[in-house]
Structure 1
Amino acid sequence: MVRERLISLDVFRGLTILLMTVVNNPGDWGNVYPPLLHADWHGCTPTDLVFPFFVFIMGVAVPLAMPEKFYDSTTLNKILIRSLRMLCLGIFFNFFGKIQFFGLDGILLLIGRLLITIAVGYALMGSFSPKVKNILALSILFIYIFLAYSGIEAYQDVRLPGVLQRIAIVYFVVSLLYLKTSQKTQIITGIVLLLGYWALMTLIPVPGIGDANLEKGTNLASWLDSILLKGHMYSGTVTWDPEGILSTIPSIVNGIIGLLIGQILLKDIGKTKKATKMAILGPAFIIAGISWNLIFPINKSLWTSSYVLYTTGLATTFLSILYYVIDIADYKKSFKLFLIWGVNPMIVFFSSQIIPQALVMIQFKNPHNPEQNINLLDYLYSFGIAPFFSDPKAASFAGALVYVGIWTFILWIFYKNKLIFKV
């Protein structure tokens, strides 16, 4: 079977990574429009759609990347390598701001951190033989674990879970399901995982706390994180992590549903029928998610089963629309911007985690208040963007758009030169 790139999926990925860039890089975190923030607990904002959309898109891409099911040791090794590389990239984001060596400080420390970043990025995104890729990924993972649990003060509270880490786990599971099971088994697996997670979270008492509940810090997922990830959770949380262990289970279903949609797109049934199937399934998932929300609230931090169905329903619906407009009606010109973003998401994801941290490390005397220091990120925003706006939220949003504009120019250069960075 000839592998063809699905433009609508690239555009959908581009829309998602662009939205991620906007919500992760406001000019001022104290002034952000509510839709560009995560829901405080129960509920779902546009920002809460970014992560599950990524997982869904990854699931759709699995069968498109492997249209002919062929499972052997070589295929398994490729899947394992890619999963390990994503896992290691994700963990590195959490280590970057903790790196200390030779007592360096300030700009010298930043230069050292950036040199390590380049080395790690090359090791995990460079083109090597499978054997070398394995050795590099496993070695880097071993170093992470050693540092995290070595007792070295700088790394004793480094976070281990994260967005890319969860995507890596889901990718590994979903790829194996695709290669080793039928669609019927995949559907049953998804149902069992969603129902099983609901039962765990709502029926099992929480050790040391009491009855099952869905509150912050006292639910079963939180308890498990506090036991297995103690000291290595999200900054600002004490007993839970939004990408914790138990909540990773239902996130696999976002990938499974994406996998099922991807297999629909592979079928030889005509493009209109494919779009119709997706247009039916999308609203059905949304309705199911909203209905389940009545007893198992939609919640990103807990990644509840209702959240899975609701977000995959929206993702399926959006993809069906894009598929019809782009791949059936052949209307592509207006989507070029998102296509440029969609074919190179990894470099944006990786760099966007590092650049803000690097800019914060560059500090100097505030020229408008010599008694205070200011970092370069705050300086660029406070004196280069904010003065042009009377509304602080509009200024903050403009800061995010400027960052998007810079990345659009960079990605356009990559696109024109056919430079694609992959793990």
Structure 2
Amino acid sequence: MAIRSTSSVEPAVLQPVPVKRLLSLDTLRGFDMFWIMGGEEIFQVLAKTTGWAWAVLIADQFTHPDWNGFRAYDLIFPLFVFLAGVSTPFSIGSRLEKGDEKAQIARKIISRGLVLVLLGIIYNNGLFVKAIQDTRFPSVLGRIGLAGMSAQLIFLYVRPRTQYRVFVGILMGYWAALALIPVPGCGAGVLTMDCNLASYIDRMVVPGHLYKTIHDPEGLFSTIPAIGNALLGIFAGSFLKTNHETGRQKALYLLGAGALFVLLGVLWNFIFPINKNLWTSSFVLVTGGLSLSLLSIFYWIIDVKGIKGWTFFFTVIGMNSILIYVADEFIDFAYASHFFFGGLINRLSSGWVAGVLGVLGYLAVKWAFLYFLYKKKTFLRV
């Protein structure tokens, strides 16, 4: 891992070589991170201070279901995993085309995945060592690292047609495991929080403590199906890299594939519920389908139609996405926002206006931090 100043503006992604061909990729990544940065708080503030029905409805979509079900906020994490996959055929593919040895590329892939796991542990627990029983090892960054690493190794060593079989095998195998393997004291096929195979395996093998004591939403076993989201991204990236179709055709095909996956996921939901906590196979299909649809829309608008003037705001975020995620744990952006904007907001407004302006001030400080790094051409490389 390194924070680098580069001689040219290059997007920070989870791959060793920056992706330059698809502005839509960095823009969509930035759009995704915008909501993690605090963008959803705009609607939360409006819902709390006004009670407006539309604001309450949207704010509810920026929460997670207690267990089964799906809301828009559930897409943010798997979309990021998907986008890491999209850039793989461009980055790793270009290294293969240059003749780099697979073993060398594999070592880089594995080290990058392990660095993200380490960053995730630090993000959860801080820089100081805790007793192992007080340490939470599973993390968002850890899942991104392990799922992305596994998918990239599959891309590196497995033939394209076999990659599709691996994708299907992962989803079907995970379903079969949770449906057929009995959990002591619970039996087979039970998918409650305390009685499911994924949580049981995590309780047995994951050191330290789990986020919800009996379950961890970023647990080890439920990371396996997340490989499917990264593989879907790889399939999409490989398709976009080809020259057989026009940009318009590619966008339409991706949109159609996305709709098909969403439909299959909704149908599978009747026997294997859509569940982010367990990252069920139906959840992979729904989030993968929505990710494909969003990629197709951004790709068509930006890379095909060339409408790019609006992308800069999100691109600045997308080019340092991992950094802003980690920095939020160690930099008090809220204090900085209050220092620069607090007094002015309190003097000029009140009620819901003050609340919304407070959120916008908070986002402005974060974006200014990223813009400063962008102007300095400094990006976190993992």
Q: TM-score range by the shorter chain?
A: 0.7 to 0.9
Give 3-state SS (helix, strand or coil) of 2:331's partner: helix
Contact 1:13 1:54 in 2 (8 A): yes
Q: 1:58 maps to which residue?
A: 84
Q: Which runs of 5+ in 1 are unaligned?
A: 100-143, 150-155, 360-375
Question: Among 240, 245, 249, which residue is 1:273 paired with?
Answer: 249
Contact 2:178 2:188 in 1 (8 A): no
- The alpha-carbon distance between structure 1 residues 83 and 332, as it changes in their structure 2 partners (threshold 3 A), is same
What do the CA deviations read for 1:105-132 (whole angstroms, capped 9, x no partner)? Answer: xxxxxxxxxxxxxxxxxxxxxxxxxxxx
Does residue 4 of structure 1 match 2:7? no
Distance 2:242 2:317 in 1: 27
Question: Among 168, 174, 179, which residue is 1:197 paired with?
Answer: 174
Q: 1:298 maps to which residue?
A: 274
AA matched with 2:214:
T
What do the CA deviations read for 1:340-398 (whole angstroms, capped 9, x no partner)? Answer: 11111121011013335x98xxxxxxxxxxxxxxxx69998xx767995535xx87665
- The alpha-carbon distance between structure 1 residues 180 and 231, as it changes in their structure 2 partners (threshold 3 A), is closer
Q: Deviation at 1:190?
A: 0.8
Distance 1:287 1:209 in 2: 31
Aligned length: 346
Q: What fraction of aligned residue pairs are identical, expressed as a percent?
A: 35
Distance 2:359 2:208 in 1: 32
Distance 1:403 1:422 in 2: 25
Distance 1:282 1:211 in 2: 32
- The alpha-carbon distance between structure 1 residues 23 and 40, as it changes in their structure 2 partners (threshold 3 A), is farther
Contact 1:233 1:240 in 2 (8 A): yes
Q: Deviation at 1:177?
A: 1.0
Distance 2:358 2:178 in 1: 40
Q: 2:38 maps to which residue?
A: 22
Correspondences of 1:318-329 after superposition (within 5 Å) = 318-329=294-305
- The alpha-carbon distance between structure 1 residues 378 and 263, as it changes in their structure 2 partners (threshold 3 A), is closer
Q: 1:48 maps to which residue?
A: 74
Q: Which runs of 5+ in 2 are unaligned?
A: 1-17, 49-55
- The alpha-carbon distance between structure 1 residues 24 and 205, as it changes in their structure 2 partners (threshold 3 A), is farther
Question: Among 6, 29, 51, which residue is 1:13 paired with?
Answer: 29
Contact 1:35 1:47 in 2 (8 A): yes
Q: 1:37 maps to which residue?
A: 63
Distance 2:331 2:70 in 1: 28
Question: Among 223, 228, 247, which residue is 1:253 paired with?
Answer: 228
Does residue 417 of structure 1 match 2:362? no
- The alpha-carbon distance between structure 1 residues 91 and 332, as it changes in their structure 2 partners (threshold 3 A), is same
Larger Rg: 1
Contact 1:25 1:400 in 2 (8 A): yes
Q: 1:226 maps to which residue?
A: 203
Question: Among 98, 107, 110, which residue is 1:80 paired with?
Answer: 110
Contact 2:178 2:198 in 1 (8 A): yes
TM-score by length of 2: 0.82
What do the CA deviations read for 1:196-245 (whole angstroms, capped 9, x no partner)? Answer: 111111222211233421112221111112222364211xx121100012
Q: 1:406 maps to which residue?
A: 365
Q: CA RMSD in A?
A: 2.8
What do the CA deviations read for 1:2-29 (whole angstroms, capped 9, x no partner)? Answer: 963310000000001111112687898x
